[in-house]
Structure 1
C-alpha cells in the first residue's frame, strides 16, 4: 500500500443560523405499482390478504408456490439434471454406507459431509462417535443433495432457485437429529447427569416463552443492563425533540475538540444504542474521547397512529432537522455525518439531495454497513418480490406498522441453524437460560416500522432499486449519488449477512468523490463494534481519489492486505484530516432531558 497523501485542511465556512423547525409535509399517496383510484372493493381484498398475512407471519404463500412451481417445471424438463441428481444421490448413499460400515467396525474414517460455517449444532464430541455420527452424516448428506437439487438451472429464475434452496434448508432443519433428545448425545449426557432436571427446566422455559409469544408481550430490558445506567450511558443531553426523533448532544471529555461536529444517523429498524452499548465497546463514547462534539439521533418507536409517516418525513424531520439544530448549536462549521445500516442509506439520499441543491454543510460522509444499491443485497432478497411486498403492504395497511416478530423473524431465518434451532436445543432440552449480553439485550429491544415509510423503502429502495437506477426522486426531482462531492468513508464487514460487503462496496461504483473504503472482520453488528483492543480483529483500507477508474471488489480484496487491530483509529485519523483544527470544548446546549432521552424507553 502506498502512503496516503495528506489532504489540505478545509477552510472555515460562514453558515447561516439554523432555520426554525421544518414543517411536516402534507401526506401524499404512496407510490404504488398502478396509478388511478382503487376500486370500491379493493379494501375487501386488502382485508382478506391482511388476515391471511397474520396467519402466515407475513410470508406470502403465493411467492412460495411460485418458487416451487418454477423449480419443478424446469427440473421436469431437464433430463440431464435429473440424471445428475440421481448420480449424486447414489454417491451420497455410498459415502454414507462406507462411513457407517467403518464406524460399526470401530475403524476411523473421515466424515464425508461437513456442516455449514455457522452451524454450531454439532460441536459436542458425541457427534463424532457412532451411532450419532452416522445420524449426523445422514442429515448432512440429505442437505448436500438438496443444495445441489435447488442450485441454478437453465431457464429457472435465480431468485426462485435460491428461494427453494432456502425453504428446503428450513424444512430439513426441523428434522435435524440435533433437535430430538433421544438421538442427541449432548442432551442424553445432560439428562443422565442431572436426573432429567434439564428437561424440567427446559419445559419451564418453553412455557414462559409461549406465554410471551401468545400474549404478544415485549420482554423488558433486564435490570443488570438498565438503559442509561449500564447501556447507553455516555453522558449527554437531549437538545431537541420532535414527534419523530430526539437529538442527543454528548458531553465533552477533552479540553479541546475538533471544530467540526459529528452527527450520527442510526437505523430506525432498531434502537440507536447499538453504537453506545457498554462503556468498553461504545463507539459514541470512544469518539467523544477522541475530541469530537458528537450528536446522535434517537428515533421514536412508532405506533399505529404514525402509519402515514413517510421516508421523506424521516429525511426532513430526522436528518435535515437534526442538521439544522447542530448548525444552530455549532454555528459557522460544517458537519461530519455518519450513517449506520438503513441510517446510512437515508444519509446517502440526504447527501445527494443536498449536493443537488448546492447545500454544502457536510464536511464528510461516513457510511457504516450501509447499502445504496440492492441488486446483491444477500439473502434478504429471498423475502422480497412483488407478491411479498404487496402482502406486507396489506398487513401493514391493516395494523399501521410492521411489528417486531414479523421483522426479526426474517433476520433469524437467514441463520436459522444457529439463531433458532441451536438456541431452542440449549433452552428447551439442555435447560440452559438465555444469559443476556449487551448485544443480545439490544437485539431483543426491537422497534416497529411505520406502514407507509416501510412500504416506500421496500418497494422503491429495495425491490425497485431506484437510488442507483436514477429513478429516486426527492421533492419531485431525481437525485444522483455522483453529485456528492464531500469526502466519503465507507465501512463494510466481511461476514455481513444483512448488508454483504460486495454490495456495500458498490458505493464506489456510483460515486465520484474522494473515498476511503474499509473492510473489517466481523458481521453486521460485531464488525462495526470493533473497539481498540478487541482480540483477533483486522481490517483492510483503500483510497479511491476523485476521478479514479473503478476497481472490482475481488481485485480490491486481492490487492489490499489486512491490518491488525481496530478500524476505529483509522477512521479517527481520516476525520481529523477532514477537519480544520481544534477549538475549546463545547458543553451541551439547553437540555430537554438527560441522555439517553425518552424515546429509547418506548416499547
Structure 2
C-alpha cells in the first residue's frame, strides 16, 4: 500500500514572519556596513576572494555568492566520486538524523570518505620532501575540516530543524553573534561577562609587590604555618595571561601549590603597547633574573626555584645558561619546564607559520605601532585545532544561534595578549627557523654567549602526550641538552589540559621511568603509567631538592617585608588589553 504524501502550504502568517526575518537580517547587515564605513573601513570579507578591498556592498555580496556557488559545485562533484566510508565516531555527526535520514547519511559517509581519500593522498604522494608534505598535510586537514557538511545550514539537519522550529530566529541570533565577532575581531568561545578576574578567576589571595614596565611580580598569601625555605617563582608565557595557572579555585595550580607549603611568586607580563615595542630576548632574560634577585633580596635567601611554561620555559633555559656563563648559576635552586622547547628542529604544526610570507605579513601588521595584535596569535593557535576551536563555534554560535557555554579555559583562550612585534619575529626567525639555541655561542644575552650545555641546575621536565604546540618528542630533547640531574614525565592530554590537571579531578594519567633512555620511544617503553595528576609527583620532587622549612611569617606574608603592596592580585597588568 502506498503512502499518501501531503504538502503543507505556508500560511500568510508564515510568509509574513519569514519576510520579517529577512528584513531584520538585512537591517543588521546594513547597520554593520554603516558602522564600518563610518570608521573608514571596508566590510570584512569573511575570507572571501574579493580581488581588491572595496566599500561597495554589491561587490562584496557578488564575491560571496560566487565563492558559495563554486564551493557547492566542487562539493557536489566530490560527493559523487567516492564510496561511503565506514562508521566513524565524530561528534559533528552525533545527531541521529545523520544516520536515520538516507540523504544526510549519504552526505555524512561521502564526506568522511572524501576526507580519508584526500588525507591519504597526501601520504601517498611521491617526489616531495618531508617539509612540503607537512605543509600539504596541514592545508588539506584545514580544507576538509572547513568543508564539513556540518558547517553549512543546507547540509546540517540540526540547523535545518532548528531553523524550522524557531522560524528563522536562530539565524538572526547567529547573524548578531557573527557581526559582534567581526567587530571584536575574534570568535567568541565563552560568553562575555561569565567570568571576571578577581571574582571567579585568578582569585588566589596575594599582592603585587614589585613592577617594571614589562612585568608585575605577585606574591601569594601563605596558607600553611610553615613553608619551604626556598621560594618558587613562575614565569608564564608572555603570549598568554598568567591565570591559566590560576583559573577557578578547584583548578588552580597556584592555589594548590600554596596549599602545599610553598612561598609562591608569579610574574604577570604586560600586554605589549608602544612603550615596550622595542624589547627583545635580552629584556625577557633580564626580567627573569630581576624577578629572582628581587625575591632573594626580599626573603633573604640565596636561591629560588623556578618554573617556565612554554615560551617562557625556552627563555628560562636561556636565562639559566646566561647565569651559568657569568658564574651566577647558584641563584636558581631548580628549574621546572612545562611543555617547553629549546630544540626547534621539529617543533610541530606551528612551523607552518614561520615561512617567509608569514614573517613578511607580521612585519606589515606591526609596521605602524611596533605591536602585534594578540588576536593574530589567537587565530593561529585556533587554526591548529580548527574543528574544535573554530568550526564548532561557527555552527553553535552562527548557525544554531546559541551563545557559547561558559568555560573558564576558553575564556582565558580568548583573552588575548599583544606582543612586541620585532621580538616576536626575532623569536620565530632565530629559534624556530634557524634553531640557534642548539648551537653553543650562536646567541648572546647582554654580551654573554649562550650554551645550554653549561646548565647543571636540577630540572623537572613535563611534556604533554597530545600536545600540538610543543610536541612531546621536541620537549623530550631538553633531557639530552641539560647536564644536571633531571626528571622527565609524560602527561596525558595536551598543551593546556596536560598541565592544568588538579589531583582532585582524577583525570588523565602520566608516565615516569627511572631507566636511562636516549629517545622518547625508549622512555615510553620503560615507563610506568600512573592514574590522575602529575602534580603530587612534582611537589615530591621539589621537596626533595634539599631545603628545609621556615615559619610563614614576616616577609613570607605579602607586604610584611621591605616591599609594600602595590595592589591586590591579580593586578592591573593582567587586565590590560
Query: What residue number does 2:182 align with?
Result: 210
Please give the alpha-carbon distance, in whole angstroms, between the structure 2 residues aligned to 1:145 and 1:224: 42
User: Is contact 2:455–2:484 with CA below 8 Å preserved after alignment?
Assistant: yes
Matched residue SS, 1:562: strand
User: Is contact 2:213–2:276 with CA below 8 Å preserved after alignment?
Assistant: no
Shift of 1:223: 4.2
Matched residue SS, 2:266: strand
**Mapping of 1:88-99 within 5 angstroms?**
96=83, 99=84
**Mapping of 1:433-582 within 5 angstroms?**
433-470=403-440, 471-543=442-514, 550-582=517-549
Please give the alpha-carbon distance, in whole angstroms, between the structure 2 residues aligned to 1:208 and 1:475: 45
**Mapping of 1:228-243 within 5 angstroms?**
228-243=198-213
Gaps of 5+ in 1: 1-53, 58-91, 100-110
Closer/same/farther in 2, CA of residues 170 and 94 from structure 1, 3 Å limit: closer
User: Is contact 2:501–2:533 with CA below 8 Å preserved after alignment?
Assistant: yes
Q: In the alignment, does 2:222 pair up with 1:252? A: yes
**Mapping of 1:161-180 within 5 angstroms?**
161-180=133-152
The RMSD of aligned alpha carbons is 2.7
Q: In the alignment, does 2:266 pair up with 1:296? A: yes
Q: In the alignment, does 2:393 pair up with 1:419? A: no
Specify which of 120, 124, 142 is matched with residue 114 of structure 2: 142
Query: What residue number does 2:326 align with?
Result: 357
Q: In the alignment, does 2:292 pair up with 1:323? A: yes
**Mapping of 1:279-294 within 5 angstroms?**
279-294=249-264
**Mapping of 1:11-30 within 5 angstroms?**
none
Specify which of 392, 395, 419 is matched with residue 365 of structure 2: 395
Matched residue SS, 2:334: strand
- Counting matched residue pairs gives 496
Query: Over residues 449-504 of structure 1, what are the superposed CA-to-partner deviations in whole Å (9 max), with x where a residue is unaligned?
Result: 10221122111111111111332222334322221111100011111111111111
Shift of 1:113: 6.5
Shift of 1:188: 2.5
Q: In the alignment, does 2:235 pair up with 1:265? A: yes
Shift of 1:356: 2.2
Query: Over residues 375-432 of structure 1, what are the superposed CA-to-partner deviations in whole Å (9 max), with x where a residue is unaligned?
Result: 1111111111234324323432333121122211111111112211121011111121
Shift of 1:194: 3.6
Query: What residue number does 1:68 align with?
Result: none
User: Is contact 1:482–1:513 with CA below 8 Å preserved after alignment?
Assistant: no
**Mapping of 1:108-127 within 5 angstroms?**
111-112=85-86, 114=88, 120-127=91-98
User: Is contact 2:104–2:155 with CA below 8 Å preserved after alignment?
Assistant: yes
User: Is contact 2:465–2:494 with CA below 8 Å preserved after alignment?
Assistant: yes
Query: What residue number does 2:306 align with?
Result: 337
User: Is contact 1:234–1:285 with CA below 8 Å preserved after alignment?
Assistant: yes
Closer/same/farther in 2, CA of residues 241 and 540 from structure 1, 3 Å limit: same
By relative contact order (CA 8 Å, sep 6+), the higher-ranking structure is 1
Please give the alpha-carbon distance, in whole angstroms, between the structure 2 residues aligned to 1:539 and 1:219: 29
Gaps of 5+ in 2: 1-43, 48-78
Shift of 1:219: 11
Matched residue SS, 2:296: helix
Please give the alpha-carbon distance, in whole angstroms, between the structure 2 residues aligned to 1:572 and 1:536: 18
